[in-house]
Amino acid sequence: MTQVLGVHYFDSPNFRIWQVITYMFMHDYSSLFHILFNMFALYTFGSSLEYIMGSKRFLNFYLITGLGALALQLLVQSFEVYSISGSAVNNGTFMVDSLNRTISFNPDLISKDEASTLLGIYLTPMVGASGAIFGLLIAFGMLFPNAELFIMFIPVPVKAKYIIPIYVLLELFLGVEQLSGDSVAHFAHLGGALFGFILVKMWHLKRHTNFYE
C-alpha cells in the first residue's frame, strides 16, 4: 500500500496522480510514533483552528498545506536530479529498474553516491501527514501566539510564538545538512509551514490574544 498510495517523484515510473492526496493519509508502518505524534498534534492544535476557521475551511487548509508540503519537496528533489544529470527528468543519463530497485548509469558521468541519491529519489515514496501538521503548527502560532505549550524535556511551559519558529528553523537546518541516515522529508515540513503562513495571511484569519492565556 505504501508503494501505491505514498507519493513518488513525479518522473518516477511508480508515480500516480492520486498519490498527491493519498500520501497525506499514509504513515510509516515501521514507526508507531510517527502516526501517534501526528494525530496527537492534529487533535491538539487542529481543534482550536477548526473553531476559528470552521470545518470546511479547516479541511481546505489541511489539504492545501499538504499539497504545499509536497510541492516544495518535489522542487528540492528536482534540483537534486538536475544537479546530477543536467535535467529534472530522466534524459537518458541513467536507467531506473523499479521492479528490481536498481539503477544503471555511466560511471564517467555519475558517481556511485550520485546514483544512490537518484535511486532514492525515484523509488522511495513519501508518506505522512507531517507537512500538513506543520501548516497547522504555524497557523496556531500565528493565531494563538501566547498559548503556553509543554514540550518534552523542557520543565516549564513555552509560548507558541517562541517554540514554533525554533522548530521551523531546526527543520531548515536538518533539511540543509542532510545528515546521514535521516530519512525525514524536512523540506516537506517547511513547505507545509510556508503554505500555512500564506493561507493565514490570504484568508485574513484573526489573531486571538486572549485565548489560553
| Domain containing residue 38: CATH number | 1.20.1540
Burial class (CB in 10 A: 0-12, 13-18, 19+), 166: exposed
- Domain range for 159: 2-93+127-202
pLDDT for 137 equals 92
pLDDT for 153 equals 66
Buried b (16+ CB within 10 A) or exposed e, 2-33: eeebbbbbebbebeeeebbeebbebbeeeeee
Predicted model pTM:
0.87
- Single-letter residue type at 59: L
Residue 87 is assigned to a structural domain of this protein: yes
Contact 64, 195 (CB under 8 A): yes
pLDDT for 77 equals 95
Residue 179 is assigned to a structural domain of this protein: yes
CA distance 15 to 9: 6
Overall domain count for the chain: 1
Residue 104 is assigned to a structural domain of this protein: no
One digit per residue, pLDDT tens: the chain, 213 residues?
888 999 999 999 999 999 999 999 998 777 788 888 889 889 989 999 999 999 999 999 999 999 999 999 999 999 999 999 999 999 889 999 998 899 999 999 999 999 999 999 999 999 999 999 999 999 999 999 988 887 766 778 888 888 888 888 887 777 666 655 556 778 899 999 999 999 999 999 976 555 444
Closest by CA to 88, choosing from 190, 12, 6, 191, is 12
pLDDT for 182 equals 55
By residue count, the chain amounts to 213
